[in-house]
A and B are shown apart, each in its own frame.
Chain A
């Protein structure tokens, strides 16, 4: 009948011990937050980062795909959210007997070539790219059509943007702006492509060419077309230098089908437009 004595002994010893430990932790936490000991990074021996397999495309048992770039890579404008990335992964899975996995979609709305070059320095991005067999890149649209950013963000607010209203906004995208942005941006594109090549020399890089979303507007049709063509040419010259790198053209796809393939923001493709791009990507891989 001495249970109460034992309860007392156990409870008192245990609680005093834990209270002391917790107090130590508490004081330690205050110290650490208020006066952090800088530089005592006991770096863990970093695991060997998995290197991309250096086999040629055909021999590979599976396709690991990564996408990087702007809102097109992300799939903005596609109501289903798939974009051309998911669509091409699906298409590839169907047409080839190989296992196809999407590693990551690193598309970020509004990314420019500048942003891309910076992003390629990030450890995580490099890691993803190193693992990939196929890298799909989409960039440049934001460099050329700066003001169009306004349009893409306005898309959610008015479901049905008519051509007339959008023309007024598009006035910002002046011809001069487009042409003036060209030289610098295309130089950056070159840098980016080369960087990706260095990060993963064995992957198959697919660059998605630009189209002119303003082909149906008098003021911008000519300038736009010219700029896009120039841009695509610059891209091609870089791409041609490397093996395992290709440009998937979209200019011709959209030129006469803007109404059919563009989403309501009049800048990004819609689901059907993305599907068309995806089809071409799949063709480009096979």
Chain B
């Protein structure tokens, strides 16, 4: 567990009488993309604001390379680049002036570095225009340029894909990957589960102010058994065979475990089962022998959605 960039320990936050954040603990290491996943209102943004000293935790510590973010901002935050929610930059300044502005707030950021980050986010064409005239995607890029300005070791992006088109999202994903390969730790928050799954190495799942689970995305996925969709004719006979088979469990209501999109694509003659590993060929053999026409066997990898649904037990997700 070397190279820990960010360590969050037992952080609580009370606003008014309400405990908004309860005992949040996690680490982010060099070179990894860490997902911060939860529905809206779960406390993602509050936690992220605490990471960058916009909000002081009621108790617990947040450290970047050992420097306390809330006590020793000047040392801790020099390693951190961030975009909290929307990239709010000064619209009455040009992109370049914005970057100059933030460069002055940090030592060691020269004009050459500004040019460098402008090139990285490919804004050089419009950098001397007023930000007022920028599209949302361009502002997002300017925000990232701003975050990269101080050569951070930790990049915090709060809902970075908000408002981006699919092409932009894909670009961003590749971009973040590239940064991580260069050794940067990236913390990405999202309420879009697929996004985390596509992007992140590790993930913390947060709901109602508490961390439900922290772990490798793959690990969390493999903890869950596979689902299989069987399409066959005649269905009723097939169902009987499946239900008698050792290690197979018929799922009564498919809606509770599968995505709506999958269910919509299912034919009427389908049944969903949960199997033990590696028994599909044996089942198939039995079905064929019984003269049942198997039209399709579809193995579904469990998604974070299912994972999340199981953990939060039906809390609403967008």
Q: Residues of A at under 8 Å CB distance from B?
A: 1, 4
Closest to B128 in A: A1
Closest to B96 in A: A1
Closest to B94 in A: A1
- In the complex, A4→B101 CA distance in Å? 10
- In the complex, A1→B99 CA distance in Å? 13
Closest to A4 in B: B97
Contacts of A4 in B (CB 8 A): 97, 100
- In the complex, A1→B111 CA distance in Å? 12
- In the complex, A1→B130 CA distance in Å? 12
Interface residues of B in 100-125 (CB under 8 A from A): 100
Binary CB contact string for chain B from 128 to 154 against chain A (1 if under 8 A, 0 otherwise): 100000000000000000000000000
4 A-B pairs (CB sep. < 8 Å) = A1-B96, A1-B128, A4-B97, A4-B100
Closest to A3 in B: B97
Q: How far is the CB of B269 from chain A (nearest CB, A)?
A: 68
Q: How far is the CB of B122 from chain A (nearest CB, A)?
A: 19
- In the complex, A72→B100 CA distance in Å? 79
Q: Residues of B at under 8 Å CB distance from A?
A: 96-97, 100, 128
Contacts of B128 in A (CB 8 A): 1
Closest to A1 in B: B128
Q: How far is the CB of A82 from chain B (nearest CB, A)?
A: 63
- In the complex, A4→B100 CA distance in Å? 9
Q: How far is the CB of B111 from chain A (nearest CB, A)?
A: 11
Contacts of A1 in B (CB 8 A): 96, 128
Contacts of B100 in A (CB 8 A): 4
- In the complex, A1→B100 CA distance in Å? 12
Q: How far is the CB of B23 from chain A (nearest CB, A)?
A: 46
Q: How far is the CB of A3 from chain B (nearest CB, A)?
A: 8
- In the complex, A164→B2 CA distance in Å? 113
Interface pairs A-B: 4 shortest CB-CB: A4-B97, A1-B128, A4-B100, A1-B96
Contacts of B97 in A (CB 8 A): 4
- In the complex, A1→B127 CA distance in Å? 11
- In the complex, A222→B211 CA distance in Å? 113
- In the complex, A4→B128 CA distance in Å? 12
Q: How far is the CB of A6 from chain B (nearest CB, A)?
A: 13
- In the complex, A1→B128 CA distance in Å? 8
Contacts of B96 in A (CB 8 A): 1
- In the complex, A112→B100 CA distance in Å? 80
- In the complex, A1→B124 CA distance in Å? 14
- In the complex, A4→B96 CA distance in Å? 11
Q: How far is the CB of B30 from chain A (nearest CB, A)?
A: 36
Q: How far is the CB of A216 from chain B (nearest CB, A)?
A: 84
- In the complex, A99→B11 CA distance in Å? 94
Q: How far is the CB of A9 from chain B (nearest CB, A)?
A: 15
Q: How far is the CB of B151 from chain A (nearest CB, A)?
A: 23
- In the complex, A4→B98 CA distance in Å? 11
Closest to A5 in B: B100
Closest to B101 in A: A4
Closest to B127 in A: A1
Closest to B93 in A: A4
Q: How far is the CB of A239 from chain B (nearest CB, A)?
A: 81
Q: How far is the CB of A227 from chain B (nearest CB, A)?
A: 85
- In the complex, A1→B96 CA distance in Å? 9
- In the complex, A1→B94 CA distance in Å? 10
Q: How far is the CB of B257 from chain A (nearest CB, A)?
A: 58
- In the complex, A4→B99 CA distance in Å? 12
- In the complex, A4→B94 CA distance in Å? 11
Closest to B100 in A: A4
- In the complex, A120→B128 CA distance in Å? 77
- In the complex, A266→B240 CA distance in Å? 128
Q: How far is the CB of B231 from chain A (nearest CB, A)?
A: 65
Q: How far is the CB of A61 from chain B (nearest CB, A)?
A: 67
Q: How far is the CB of B100 from chain A (nearest CB, A)?
A: 7
- In the complex, A4→B97 CA distance in Å? 8
- In the complex, A189→B277 CA distance in Å? 132
Q: How far is the CB of B134 from chain A (nearest CB, A)?
A: 17
Q: How far is the CB of B97 from chain A (nearest CB, A)?
A: 6
Q: How far is the CB of A1 from chain B (nearest CB, A)?
A: 6
Q: How far is the CB of B74 from chain A (nearest CB, A)?
A: 23
- In the complex, A19→B96 CA distance in Å? 31
- In the complex, A1→B97 CA distance in Å? 9
Q: How far is the CB of B224 from chain A (nearest CB, A)?
A: 56
Q: How far is the CB of B147 from chain A (nearest CB, A)?
A: 21
Q: How far is the CB of A11 from chain B (nearest CB, A)?
A: 15
Q: How far is the CB of B90 from chain A (nearest CB, A)?
A: 12
Q: How far is the CB of B102 from chain A (nearest CB, A)?
A: 13
Q: How far is the CB of B64 from chain A (nearest CB, A)?
A: 31
Q: How far is the CB of A285 from chain B (nearest CB, A)?
A: 74
- In the complex, A237→B154 CA distance in Å? 110
- In the complex, A1→B129 CA distance in Å? 11
Q: How far is the CB of B110 from chain A (nearest CB, A)?
A: 14
